Structure 1
Amino acid sequence: MTYTVAVRELCEFTAKQGDLDLRFTPAPTALEGMAGHAVAAARRGAGYRAEVALSGSYQTLQVRGRADGYDPERQRIDEVKTFKGRLDRQPASHRALHWAQAKVYGWLLCQQEQLAHIDVALVYLDVGTQQETVFTQRCAADDLRQHFEAQCQRFIAWAAQQMAHRTARDAALTALTFPFGGFRTGQRPLAEAVYKAATAGCCLLAQAPTGIGKTMGTLFPLLKAVPAQQIDKVFFLAAKTSGRQTALDALSRLSDRAPALPLRVLELVARDKACEHPGNACHGESCPLAQGFYDRLPAARAAAVANGEAGGTAALHQAQVRKVALQHQVCPYYLSQEIARWADVVVGDYNYYFDLGGLLHGLTQANQWRTALLVDEAHNLVERGRKMYTAELRPAALAEARRSATAARHAPVKKALDKVRRCWVALDKAQASAYAVHDTFPDKLLAALQQCGSTLTEHFTDHPTEPDAALQAFYFDALHLVHMAELLGAHSMVDITQPTHSYNGKATTPGDSTLCIRNVVPAPFLQPRLAAAHTSTLFSATLQPARYYADLLGLPADHWWVDVESPFHAAQLQVQVARHISTRFPHRAASLHPIVALMARQFQARPGNYLAFFSSYDYLQQVAALFAQRHPEVPHWCQTRRMLEAEQRAFLDRFTPTSQGIAFAVLGGAFAEGIDLPGKRLVGAFLATLGLPQINPVNEQIRERMHALFGAGYDYTYLYPGLQKVVQAAGRVIRTPSDEGVVHLMDDRFGHAQVRALLPHWWGLHPRAGTPVPRQDLDGHAPLPLPRPASKISI
C-alpha cells in the first residue's frame, strides 16, 4: 500500500523550521498569484513548458505535484513565487522551504527526463512592479535524488502511521452502527438521502424539520460512506457556536457507543478565541509561542494526534488543543491549523471553507483531498456568504489611521493616507445624493487605496516591532476592498452612502461617506467551493422555496433536493392568524392595543412561557410598555440591544418547566433560532411581523438586481428572507414529538395564499389545491409567481 503526498505538503512537513513569522505578508491574492505566474511564463521562450505535472516514489511513498515551469533549452526548472513588499525582509525559513520544494521538483524532472544535472531556479515576482528576482543553483541529479530521499525519509514514518490510521478508521466506520435504538421519525429518510448523495458524489439540499436529530442524521450516514467513497476529510460547517457544539456532542455520542473508533475530530475556533497573547504580533520577536514554533511543532503534532491512537476517538476540541499546545510551548491557533491536515472530521465556522482565504478549502486544493461537506442551518449561508464577499470602508477607520502615532512619525505613511482622504473627499463632492450606486469602483480612489496598501505593506515589513492597531485595521479593510474590486461582477454592487442631518436630509462633510462593495449574490464565490468537494449536504429546517437557495448559493444544476416529512402534526400546534391586525409601519400605533389584548387572552387561557417576536427594538418596547401597563400581573422580560453572553443566558434561564411569563424578542436576533426550550419551558409564540427587511435605498437596489438576475426581485429580497425568519422563530415551540403549543401570526398578510404556501405544510395552513394565488399587494409590491421547485431525490 502506498501513501500519496503533494510536493508542497511533503516539504511543509519536513523543511519548515524556526519561528512562526507572518511579517512577510500579506501574500498576493489568488488572482494576483495566477496572473503573476502567467506573466513569468509569458516572458520565457517559445519552448517553455508551464505547469509540468511530475511524480515519483520512494519506498511506499508516492510524491506528486506541478512544477511552475521548465525551459528545456536552458535545462532550467522554475519555482515561481509571487510576493508583495520587500524581498530582503523575507525570513530565511521561507527561502529554505522554497528551495526544498524547488529541489524536489528538480529531482522529479531529472528522473522523468533522464537528466544528469539541471538548473534549479527560485523566481520571485513582485506583483506590484512585475519585476523578477531570480536565484539559481546548478544541481547534479544525484544530489537532487539524495535531497528528495532525505525529505521522504523524514516523512515516511509519519506516512506509515497515517496509512495504519486510515486502515483502522475505515474498518471501524464500516462496522459502525447507529448509536441509538432506532432512527427517529424523519431521521431515516434524511440519512438515506445523505448516504445516496455521498455515493453518487453529488450535492444535496435537504429541508428537514427541527426535532428529528438532523446533526446525527447527517453525520452518521456520511461517516458510513467514507470507506467506500475513499473520502479523506469530513468538514462540518456551522454558522454559530451552538451548531459546532451540537456536532461535537453527536460525534462524542458516536465515540461513546464505539469506544474503539479511531476518529480524529478537530474543532477550529476563531483566532481571537485561541490566542494566548492577543497584544503580541505573530512572529518570534514578539510572541514566545511563535518563537521556535516549527522546531517544536513535530512533537506537539505527534502528541495531539496520539491522543486517540491507542484505539479511540481523538477529540481535539479547543480545550484539548490548547492543553497540548501549551505543554509544547506553541501557539494553539496555529497548531490547530497544522492538525487540520491530519484530522478526519473538522468542525468549524462557515468561513473556514467558504471565505476567499478559507483554510480548509485551500488545503483541499493543495492536497487534492476527496472531501465531504455538511453545512448546518444552511439558510444562514446566504447572508453569511454576502458578508464574506462584501468589503466596506468607513471614514472613522481612515481618520483613526491618520491620527495614529505611526502616521505622525513616518512621512510616507501619512502621505499615502492623505492621498486616500483627498480622493475620498473629491468623490463625495461629486455625488449629488446621499446614496449612490456606481457601475465600477471609482478609479482614482481605487488607485490611491492600492498605493496606500503597498506603502503600508512596506512599512509593516520594515517596522515589525511597532504594532499600530488603528493603522492595521484600516490596512486590512483597504486590502479587502481592493481585492473585492478586482472580483467585481453582476453578483455585487458598488454603493456610497453619505450620512445625512436628521433635520434637513442634507449630506454632511465630504469624505464622511461609507464606501461599500456589497455582495448581493454569493453564488459565484460559493459554487467553486461546493464543486471542490466530492459531496456536500446543505441542511436546515427552513429551505423553502428550494429554488431561491439553489440560485443564491450556487448549487450545481444537477443537485438533489429532499423535503423530509415532519414527525409533528397539526394537532400539536395551534396556528392562529390574526387577520384583524396589521403590523405594516404606518399601522404600528394602531396595532399596539390589539396585540396586547390577544397576548393577554392567550396567556389567561393557557398560562405558561411564551416568546413574542417583533420587527424592531422600538416596536418591541412600545408593545412591552403597554402590556406592562395593562397587565402588570403577568411576568415579562425583554431582549435588549447588544446583550452579553451572560445576559442572554439569564434571559433563557427564566424559561423553566414551572415558570410563567412572556419574553419579548426581536425576530432574527439571538433568540429566534438555535435555542432549544422543549416541553413546558415554552408553550407558545407570538409573531407580530412577517420579518420583511426594511424598504430602504440599499434593499431597493438589491431588489432591482434580483429582478434582473432571477426575475423575482421582491420575493428574493423581501418575502423569502422574511418568512424564513418567521418559520425559524415559530420552530422554537415544538421541539419533540410530545410537545404541544400555539403560534399566533399577528398580521393579516399571513392570510394571503402566497404567504401560506411558504409556511410548513404540517401547520395545516397551506392553500387548498386549486386555490388561486391573488395578485395582492405585500407592502407596495405585487408578488411574483413562485419559482419552480428543484427536482427531488427519491428515497
Structure 2
Amino acid sequence: MNYSIAVRTLCEFTAKAGDLDLRFTPSPSAQQGIAGHGLVASRRDEGYEREIPLGGEYRHLEVRGRADGYDPARNQLEEVKTFRGDLAWMPANHRALHWAQVKIYGHLLCHSRGLSEVCLALVYFDIVSQRETLLRDTFSAQTLEEFFHEQCERFIAWADQEMAHRAARDSALNALGFPHAGFRTGQRPLAEAVYKAVGTGRCLMLQAPTGIGKTLGTLFPMLKALPRQHLDKLFFLAAKTPGRRLALEALATLVPEEADEPAPLRVLELVARDKACEHPDKACHGEACPLASGFYDRLPEARQAAVSHAMLDQAALRDVALAHGICPYYLGQELARWSDVVVGDYNYYFDLNAMLFGLTVANRWRVGVLVDEAHNLVERARRMYSAELDQAAFKAVRRTAPGPLKKPLDRLARQWRALDKSVEAAGVSSDYRVLDSLPTKLLGALHNAVAAITDYLTEQPAGLDAALQTFYFEAMHFCRVAELFDEHSLFDMTFKAGRRGATLSTLCLRNVVPAGFLTPRFEATRATVLFSATLSPSRYYGDLLGLPADTPWLEVESPFSAEQLSVRVVDKVSTRFHHRAASLAPIVELMAEQFAARPGNYLAFFSSFEYLEQVAALFRERCPAVPLWAQSRRMDEPSRQGFLAGFREGGQGIGFAVLGGVFGEGIDLPGERLIGAFIATLGLPQVNPVNEQFRQRLGVLFGDGYDYAYLYPGLQKVVQAAGRVIRTQEDRGVIHLIDDRFARPRVQRLLPNWWKNER
C-alpha cells in the first residue's frame, strides 16, 4: 500500500525551518494570485503548458501535484509566486521552501518525460508593478532525483508511522462496539441513518429530541464508517463550547486511551486563537514571543510527541506544546493534518477562509462532517458572509492616519459623504435604508484605500496602530464580500446622530441566504450529518443552508412519553409588545400557582431583558418567599455558572432568562434540578426594518417570507428552551406556553409530536 502526499505538503514537512513569523505582511488575495498566474502564462510563447499534473513514487511513497508551467522550447519549468512590495524582504526560509517545491516538480517532470536536465525557474510576480523577477538554475535529472529521494527519506519514517497508525485505527474502529449495554429509545435508528448516509455518500438532516444522546448516537456510526468508507477525517463541528465538550466526552467513552498501547484514534480539539495564546501581550514572531522563536526547528519533536496522545483537548495540547517550547495554537493548526477526528467551531469548516475546508480540498481528503445543534448554522453562516463598516470609527482612524494615507482616506471620506447625501436626498424619512445596488464609486475608493494601506505596510511593516489595522482588515473583508454580492444579500445603511449634529452611517453587506456559500462545503464531504432537536420544517433549513436536493430528513422517535411532560397552553394572555403591561399580573399569578402546587426549580423565559425585569420585579413584590435569580446583560462565565448553580438537586426557586440566550439551549439540568418552564413569548424576532427586509427578500425567494423570517426561528427557540425540562426517561415536568398564539394550528404543527398539549 502506498502513502500519498501532495508536493506542497511534503515540502512544508521537510523544508520548513526557523521562526514562526506572523507579522502582517501584505500578500495578494486568492483572486489576485489566480490573476497573476494567468497574466504570467499569457506572456509566454505558444506551446507553453499550464497546470501540468505530475506524480511519482519513491519506495511506498506516492507524491503528486501540479506544476505551474513548462516551456518545452526552453526546457524551463516554472513555479510562479505572486507577491507585493520589496522581494528582498521575503524571509529566506520562504525562498528555501519555494526552491524545494520546484525541485520536486523538476524531478517528476524529468522522470515522466525522460529529460536528462531541466531549467528550473522561480517566477516572482509583483501584482502592483506586474513585473517578473526570475531566479533560475539548471539541474541534471540525477541531481533532482537525489534531492527528491532525500526529501522522501525525511518524510518516509513519518509516512510509515502514519500507515501503521491508519491500519491500527481502522482495525480498532472495525471492532468498535457501542459503549453501553444498549441504545436508548430512538438512538439505534439515528445511528443507522447516519451510517447509511455515509455509505451512500449523502447529506442527512436528523431531528431528534433533546436528551436522546445525539452526540454519542452520531459519533459511533460515523467512526464505524471511517475504515469501511475509506474516510481520512471526521470533523465534529459545534456552535458553542458545551457542544465541543460533549463530543470530547463521547469520544473518550467510545475509544478510551490505553496506557500501554499506541493511541488507536487521534482526537484534536481546536479552540480560538485568543483562548490558546500564552502571551497575548506579545507579537507573534520570533523576535517578540519565545514560543514563536525557532518554532519550525522544534516542531518535529513536538509533533511526534503529540501524535502519541489519543485525546488532544485544549489542556493536553497546551502541555505538549509548552514542553517543547512552541505555540499551542499553531501546534494545533499543524496537527489538524495528522488527526483522525477534529472537534471545533463551525467556522473551521464553513467560514469564508475556513482552514479545515481548505485542507480538505488541497489534500483531497475523504471526510465525514457532523454538525451539532445545526439549527444555529443559519444565523452563524449569515454572519460569516456579512460585512460592516462604521463611519464614526472610520473618521477616528482618518484623523490619526499617517501622511501617505491621507489622500486615499480623504477620497473614501468624500465618496462616503456623497453616498450619505444621495440617500438622504431621496426623501425617505428613515434611519434605515436598503439600496438596490452596490455603490460602485464608494467601493472603488475603498479598494484604493486598501491598496494604499497595503503599499504603506510593505514599506512600514509596523506602521499601523490598532484602530487603523482593525479598519484595514474590516475594509478588506468588506471588499471581498462585495465581490460575492448577489440576490441572497442586502446592502443597507443605518444612520445615527454623531457629534455636533452630524449624521453618520453604517454600511452593511448583510447575508440573508448563505446557501450559495455553504453548498461547496457540503459537496466536498463524503457525507455531512446535521442534527438538532429543532430542524423543522426541513425545507426551511434545506433552502437556507443549500443542502443537496436529495438530502433526506428524518425525525427520530422520542424516548420520552407524553405522560412525562405536561404542556399547558395559556391562551388567555398575549405577550405582544403592546399587551405586555396587561400580561405582567396574569403571568406572576400563574407562576405563583404552579410553584405552590409543586415547589421546585423552574426556568422562566421572556423575549427581552426589559420584559424579564418587569415580571421579576412584580414577582418579588407579590411572592417574596420564593427564591428568584435572573440572567443579566453580558454575563461572564463565572456569572453563568453561578446562575446554573441555583438549580441544585432538592432546591427551590425560579430562574429568569431571555429566550434564545445562553440558557435556552446547551444546558443539562436532569432530575429535580429542573421540573418546569414558563415560556412567555413565541420567540419571534423583533419586528424592525432589518427583519422586515429579510421577510420581503425571503418571500421573493421562497414564498413564505413571514414564516422564514419570524415564525420558524421563533418556534425553534421555544422548543429548544422547553427541551431543558425533560432530560432522562425518569424526569417529570411541566411547561407553560404563555401566549394566545400558541393555540393556533400552524403553531401547534411546529411543536414536537410527542407533546400532549393541555388548555
Which category describes the TM-score, using the shorter chain as reference length?
A: over 0.9
Equivalent of 1:392 in 380, 388, 391 = 388
| Structure 2 CA distance for partners of 1:508 and 1:351, relative to 1, 3 Å | farther
CA offsets per residue over residues 296-355 of structure 1, 9 Å max, x none?
111111111123xxxxxx211111111111121111111110111100111000111111
Tell me the distance in 2 between the aligned counterparts of 1:319 and 1:467.
Answer: 34
Answering whether residue 429 of structure 2 is matched by residue 437 of structure 1, we say no
Which residue of structure 1 aligns with residue 51 of structure 2? 51
Tell me the distance in 2 between the aligned counterparts of 1:551 and 1:331.
Answer: 41
Equivalent of 2:627 in 629, 632, 635 = 635
SS at match of 2:531: strand
Answering whether residue 215 of structure 2 is matched by residue 223 of structure 1, we say no
CA offsets per residue over residues 584-620 of structure 1, 9 Å max, x none?
1111111111111111111111111111111111111
Tell me the distance in 2 between the aligned counterparts of 1:47 and 1:712.
Answer: 55
- The residue type equivalent to 2:735 in the other structure is V
| Structure 2 CA distance for partners of 1:85 and 1:237, relative to 1, 3 Å | farther
Which residue of structure 2 aligns with residue 94 of structure 1? 94
SS at match of 2:307: helix
Tell me the distance in 1 between the aligned counterparts of 2:46 and 2:156.
Answer: 39
Which residue of structure 2 aligns with residue 272 of structure 1? 274
| Structure 2 CA distance for partners of 1:490 and 1:561, relative to 1, 3 Å | same
Tell me the distance in 2 between the aligned counterparts of 1:147 and 1:284.
Answer: 29
Q: Is the 8 A contact 1:397 1:473 kept in 2?
A: no
TM superposition shift of 1:508: 5.4
Tell me the distance in 1 between the aligned counterparts of 2:708 and 2:552.
Answer: 21
Equivalent of 1:383 in 332, 354, 379 = 379
TM superposition shift of 1:86: 4.0
Answering whether residue 370 of structure 2 is matched by residue 374 of structure 1, we say yes
Answering whether residue 637 of structure 2 is matched by residue 645 of structure 1, we say yes
Q: Is the 8 A contact 2:412 2:449 kept in 1?
A: yes
Which residue of structure 1 aligns with residue 14 of structure 2? 14
CA offsets per residue over residues 711-769 of structure 1, 9 Å max, x none?
111111111011101110111111111111111111111111111111101113599xx
TM superposition shift of 1:71: 2.3
| Structure 2 CA distance for partners of 1:84 and 1:488, relative to 1, 3 Å | farther
What is the aligned-residue RMSD (CA, Å)?
2.0
- The residue type equivalent to 1:324 in the other structure is V
Answering whether residue 116 of structure 2 is matched by residue 116 of structure 1, we say yes
Which residue of structure 2 aligns with residue 302 of structure 1? 304
| Structure 2 CA distance for partners of 1:467 and 1:427, relative to 1, 3 Å | closer
TM superposition shift of 1:273: 0.6
- The residue type equivalent to 1:436 in the other structure is R
SS at match of 2:255: helix
- The residue type equivalent to 1:263 in the other structure is L
TM superposition shift of 1:648: 0.6
Which residue of structure 1 aligns with residue 158 of structure 2? 158
Tell me the distance in 2 between the aligned counterparts of 1:84 and 1:585.
Answer: 56
Q: Is the 8 A contact 1:78 1:123 kept in 2?
A: yes
Q: Is the 8 A contact 2:608 2:658 kept in 1?
A: yes
| Structure 2 CA distance for partners of 1:289 and 1:634, relative to 1, 3 Å | same
Which residue of structure 2 aligns with residue 473 of structure 1? 470
- The residue type equivalent to 1:635 in the other structure is P
Equivalent of 1:713 in 688, 700, 705 = 705
Answering whether residue 446 of structure 2 is matched by residue 454 of structure 1, we say no
Tell me the distance in 1 between the aligned counterparts of 2:251 and 2:171.
Answer: 17
The more displaced of 360-369 and 757-766 is 757-766
Q: Is the 8 A contact 1:12 1:97 kept in 2?
A: yes
Q: Is the 8 A contact 1:434 1:500 kept in 2?
A: no
Which residue of structure 1 aligns with residue 566 of structure 2? 574
Which residue of structure 2 aligns with residue 196 of structure 1? 196
TM superposition shift of 1:426: 2.3
Tell me the distance in 1 between the aligned counterparts of 2:24 and 2:353.
Answer: 17
| Structure 2 CA distance for partners of 1:372 and 1:424, relative to 1, 3 Å | same
| Structure 2 CA distance for partners of 1:363 and 1:684, relative to 1, 3 Å | same
TM superposition score normalised by structure 1: 0.92
Mapping of 1:262-341 within 5 angstroms?
262-307=264-309, 314-341=310-337
Mapping of 1:3-42 within 5 angstroms?
3-23=3-23, 25-42=25-42
Which residue of structure 1 aligns with residue 358 of structure 2? 362
CA offsets per residue over residues 114-142 of structure 1, 9 Å max, x none?
12222222223344554433332222222
SS at match of 1:763: coil
- The residue type equivalent to 1:509 in the other structure is A
Equivalent of 2:346 in 345, 350, 355 = 350
TM superposition shift of 1:76: 2.0
Which residue of structure 2 aligns with residue 509 of structure 1? 502
Equivalent of 2:481 in 468, 471, 484 = 484
- The residue type equivalent to 1:590 in the other structure is A
Tell me the distance in 2 between the aligned counterparts of 1:595 and 1:131.
Answer: 73
- The residue type equivalent to 2:453 in the other structure is L
CA offsets per residue over residues 116-175 of structure 1, 9 Å max, x none?
222222223344554433332222222221221111111011101110111111111111
TM superposition score normalised by structure 2: 0.96
Equivalent of 2:415 in 410, 420, 423 = 423
- The residue type equivalent to 1:643 in the other structure is M
- The residue type equivalent to 1:298 in the other structure is P
Tell me the distance in 2 between the aligned counterparts of 1:688 and 1:747.
Answer: 7
Tell me the distance in 2 between the aligned counterparts of 1:496 and 1:86.
Answer: 39
- What are structure 1's unaligned runs of at least 5 residues? 308-313, 768-795
Q: Is the 8 A contact 1:194 1:537 kept in 2?
A: yes
| Structure 2 CA distance for partners of 1:84 and 1:214, relative to 1, 3 Å | farther
Q: Is the 8 A contact 2:26 2:458 kept in 1?
A: no
Tell me the distance in 2 between the aligned counterparts of 1:395 and 1:598.
Answer: 48
TM superposition shift of 1:400: 4.1
Tell me the distance in 2 between the aligned counterparts of 1:730 and 1:520.
Answer: 27
Which residue of structure 2 aligns with residue 559 of structure 1? 551
TM superposition shift of 1:210: 1.1
Tell me the distance in 2 between the aligned counterparts of 1:707 and 1:126.
Answer: 47
Which residue of structure 1 aligns with residue 460 of structure 2? 463
Equivalent of 1:624 in 612, 616, 631 = 616
| Structure 2 CA distance for partners of 1:277 and 1:739, relative to 1, 3 Å | same
Tell me the distance in 1 between the aligned counterparts of 2:48 and 2:684.
Answer: 58
Which residue of structure 1 aligns with residue 73 of structure 2? 73
The more displaced of 614-623 and 136-145 is 136-145
CA offsets per residue over residues 529-560 of structure 1, 9 Å max, x none?
11111111111110000111111111111212
TM superposition shift of 1:704: 1.4
CA offsets per residue over residues 157-215 of structure 1, 9 Å max, x none?
11011101111111111111111111111111110011111111111111111111111
Tell me the distance in 1 between the aligned counterparts of 2:383 and 2:299.
Answer: 34
Tell me the distance in 2 between the aligned counterparts of 1:752 and 1:437.
Answer: 34
TM superposition shift of 1:60: 0.9
CA offsets per residue over residues 195-250 of structure 1, 9 Å max, x none?
11111111111111111111110111110111111111111110001100000111
Q: Is the 8 A contact 2:566 2:758 kept in 1?
A: no
Q: Is the 8 A contact 1:209 1:564 kept in 2?
A: yes
- The residue type equivalent to 2:232 in the other structure is D
Which residue of structure 1 aligns with residue 427 of structure 2? none
TM superposition shift of 1:466: 5.3
Q: Is the 8 A contact 1:612 1:665 kept in 2?
A: yes
TM superposition shift of 1:438: 2.3
Tell me the distance in 2 between the aligned counterparts of 1:639 and 1:27.
Answer: 45
Tell me the distance in 2 between the aligned counterparts of 1:469 and 1:3.
Answer: 46
| Structure 2 CA distance for partners of 1:413 and 1:507, relative to 1, 3 Å | closer
Q: Is the 8 A contact 1:76 1:119 kept in 2?
A: yes
Mapping of 1:639-718 within 5 angstroms?
639-718=631-710
- The residue type equivalent to 2:172 in the other structure is A
| Structure 2 CA distance for partners of 1:132 and 1:497, relative to 1, 3 Å | farther
CA offsets per residue over residues 471-518 of structure 1, 9 Å max, x none?
2211111111111111111221111111159xxxx99524x2111111
Answering whether residue 105 of structure 2 is matched by residue 105 of structure 1, we say yes
